[in-house]
Amino acid sequence: MSNTETTAPDEPSAPQSEKQSDADKRLEIVAAVLLGLATVAIAWGAYQANLWSGLQDKALTQSANLTTEAIGAYGEADALVSLDQTLFVEIVLLLNADDADDADDAALDSVDFLLTNMTAEGEQAVTEWFENDLDLPFTEEYYSEFYAVGDDLFAQSEAKFEEGSQNNTNGDKYVLVATILASVLFFAGISTVLTSSRTRTVLLAGGALLWLGSVIYIATLPVTSL
């Protein structure tokens, strides 16, 4: 009867175990550093996103206020133009009345009275119309003088709206970067619980590339401050 010998599985030698232990420690250090760098980058991205969001709200609020002011300016211009046109119609009726020739002085006095109640722009326009026998007193130049303020306010409102939209875009870009960096945290974190050195190395390398790409992209983004 032959004796059977039981052989124990090969165990790694002491130098090999120490070598694996050193490699694991290096990977843990890399994971810790990557976690720290990703956390800092995420914090910076979140900070910038919040600032840009605040600037967006501020710009849009200013845009809304300017639009309200522009509407008010347009309304005031409409009222003044309407007044001038109404008084101009009264002047035309006076000058074309059947008895105007018999009472020229009275008619002219009434015309002068109506003119003094018009705006300075309206009075000037009607006076030029009367003296130069123009077709109409109210030209584009006349209207532009009244509506220039509203046009300027509306242009400022549009500019502020565009500024708010750009601020929103900048904030969204920082949010996108923060989302990508969150995957770096995932890769670095999960690598600490795996036993395969090769898998851990691949995860950390991928996380490092994502972090590097994100940081390069952040460097191209506009920066704001309080």
Q: What is the pTM of this model?
A: 0.74
How far CA 78 is from CA of 90, 97, 151, 188, in Å, comes to 18, 28, 13, 66
114-168 tens-digit pLDDT: 888 999 999 898 888 888 877 788 888 889 999 999 999 999 999 999 999 999 9
**Is pLDDT of 4 > 50?**
no
**Is pLDDT of 5 > 90?**
no
Q: How confident is the model at residue 207 (pLDDT cuts 50, 70, 90)?
A: very high
Query: Among residues 209, 218, 160, which one has the least CA distance to residue 34?
Result: 209
- C-alpha 129/C-alpha 68 separation (Å) is 35
How confident is the model at residue 137, as a pLDDT? 85
Calculate mean pLDDT across residues 197-226: 93
Instruction: Select the more confidently predicted residue: 222 or 105.
Output: 222
Cβ neighbours of 187 (radius 10 Å): 23
Give 82's contacts (C-beta < 8 A, 6+ positions apart): none
Highest mean pLDDT (candidates 21-30, 186-195, 202-211): 202-211
Q: How confident is the model at residue 99 (pLDDT cuts 50, 70, 90)?
A: low
Calculate mean pLDDT across residues 187-213: 92
Do 198 and 25 touch, CB atoms closer than 8 A?
no
- C-alpha 16/C-alpha 139 separation (Å) is 96
**Is pLDDT of 19 > 80?**
no
How confident is the model at residue 138, as a pLDDT? 87
Q: How confident is the model at residue 13 (pLDDT cuts 50, 70, 90)?
A: low
Highest mean pLDDT (candidates 2-11, 100-109, 156-165): 156-165
Do 161 and 64 touch, CB atoms closer than 8 A?
no
Q: How confident is the model at residue 175 (pLDDT cuts 50, 70, 90)?
A: very high
Share of the chain above pLDDT 90, in %: 61
How confident is the model at residue 16, as a pLDDT? 56
Domain ranges of the chain: 27-219
How far CA 110 is from CA of 89, 96, 114, 173, in Å, comes to 13, 13, 6, 68
Give 161's contacts (C-beta < 8 A, 6+ positions apart): 59, 60, 63
77-93 tens-digit pLDDT: 999 999 999 998 888 88
- C-alpha 155/C-alpha 160 separation (Å) is 9
**Is pLDDT of 1 > 50?**
no
Does the CA dihedral 138-144-150-154 come out positive or negative? positive
Give 171's contacts (C-beta < 8 A, 6+ positions apart): 48, 49, 50, 51, 52, 53, 56
